Structure 1
Amino acid sequence: MVVSESLLENNEDAFNKVEVYQSPLSEHIRELRVRFLWCILMVAVNFFVIVTFFTDPLMQALAKPIKECGIQFIYLGLSEALTAQLKVAFIAAVIFSMPVIFWHAWNFIKPAFYENERKSVFLFTISSVILFLIGVSFGYGIVFLSAITFFVYVGENLATPMLSISQYVDFLFSFVLSFGLVFEMPVIIYVLCRLGIVTVAQLTAIRKYVVLGIFIVAALLTPPDVLSQVLMALPMLLLYEIGIWVVKTSCK
């Protein structure tokens, strides 16, 4: 009886350490609404500032690789140029607001974890963000610029290159976003390992199927040219091997 009461008290203490259970659901909903509104406000303020002062420099910076290749921008509709500028400004506003968004998101979910879990969750989140940024930087700084050069080299003897500004913006952001998501592969493998869904032996055994799958995914996520597909597939293969190494070192 004494042992049972002791266990009950220990469980109750552990339960109380999870702060989320100490507040009613309505309070959490209210907190979520307030934090969401703060994030929306931050994006709106950044959007207004960027549209007012920084739209032209941003567009010039994004258009520089194309102009250096001798490609002329055109717009096919009266509102296309304005729409492209607003789209770039909005994406930039979200990017510059991410520190505030992450801060509110972390402070909202933090009470749901035990004290000893919070550091792991925080490091996991930071690692995911860093890998995403590395993927975006790699996708734009290396693969995208190489792909643009390749496209111009192939087509310059056939026709005069002219590109819709809206088409270019959509292509650019979908391209770099794909690389950002692909670079999350080690994190995904680590999560699957921690959940007991995969093991090192399984990851090694299915390697040849993963290689095939990676090239299929690269073909779906990139433009229909071999260079872009290879430039995406090779980092994915490397990231898969890094994921296996992470599993070996941390999920023993």
Structure 2
Amino acid sequence: MSDKPTAKEKRTKLKEVKDVQPIMQHIMALRRVLLVSMAAILLSFILIFLLMGDRLVDFLTRPIVNRGILIIYTAVPEALLTKMKVCLVAAIVAASPVVFYQVWSFIRPALYPGERKKFSLLFVAALFLFLLGIVFCYGVVYSMALDFFLVSGEGLATPMLSIDRYIGYLFGFALPFGISFQVPVVIYITTSMGLTTAKGLSKARKFIILAIAIIAAILTPPDVVSQVLLGIPMWLLYELSVVISRIVEKKERA
């Protein structure tokens, strides 16, 4: 009996190889996306740490230092580790255009020409709104929250804040704002897909406001003031999203 493969077996084997090749190409492309993104973040981290790490920490602690509050650290490596944490977050933000571009280059071949333009605009809008949320939090809301808490604590104790806990609180306060500012993008996508409508969003206003309150309670530090300061912008973004939904529906009907 011959051990040579038959013509049918050869065709089957060739088909299996052809099926595997696209999968391997996708895996290699994804590997490249991850490697380039990680390299961009690592390079950004090194440059930021060496060139402007101290200035970044000074900038973030300025709101509390300008109010006459003493910043301390209670463990030997705490100051250095906090500086590294700040530089890592800054590196992720600085490298985000590279990361977004790599992700975009990975999914771009699977999209139609019209979809490519729409998704590229959505990527830019999402990044812009995220940064806008962070800036709005740090420049407006965070100062209001600090003033409220410091005034509330006057006469009760002398404030001395650990730098690690302070930076952690600041990041925990700012990140939800960046995330919540994505609401218009999410509503645009769901409306374009037919999953939501302006009429449906308007009818569900009471439930959405309740959901906003729950989300604000989950995302922010456990105090009512932080929850309210996040909840109000989220509600305004929701109302903006209703308007965006109407615009999308008009374009779809045109």
Length-normalised TM-score, structure 1: 0.86
The corresponding residue for 1:99 is 97
Higher-Rg member (1/2): 2
The corresponding residue for 1:70 is 68
Q: Tell me how far 1:204 sits from its aligned partner.
A: 1.1
Equivalent position SS for 1:159: coil
- Structure 2 unaligned spans of 5+: 1-18
Q: Distance in 1 between the 2:192 and 2:243 partners?
A: 14
Aligned counterpart in structure 2 of residue 158 of structure 1, from 156, 159, 173: 156
Q: Tell me how far 1:163 sits from its aligned partner.
A: 0.9
After superposition, residues 1-252 of structure 1 pair within 5 angstroms as 24-252=22-250
Consecutive aligned runs of 4 or more in structure 1 exceeding 4 Å deviation: none
Q: Distance in 1 between the 2:219 and 2:113 partners?
A: 40
Q: Distance in 1 between the 2:235 and 2:51 partners?
A: 42
- How many residue pairs end up in the alignment? 231
Q: Distance in 2 between the 1:217 and 1:140 partners?
A: 20
The corresponding residue for 2:6 is none
Q: Tell me how far 1:81 sits from its aligned partner.
A: 1.2
CA contact (8 A) 2:137 2:177 kept: yes
The letter of the residue matching 1:120 is: K
Q: Tell me how far 1:140 sits from its aligned partner.
A: 1.1
What's the CA shift string for 1:217-239, capped at 9, x where partnerless?
Answer: 22332234433222211111111
Equivalent position SS for 1:70: coil
Length-normalised TM-score, structure 2: 0.85
Percent identity at matched positions?
42
Q: Distance in 2 between the 1:215 and 1:160 partners?
A: 32
CA contact (8 A) 1:69 1:152 kept: no
CA contact (8 A) 1:131 1:183 kept: yes
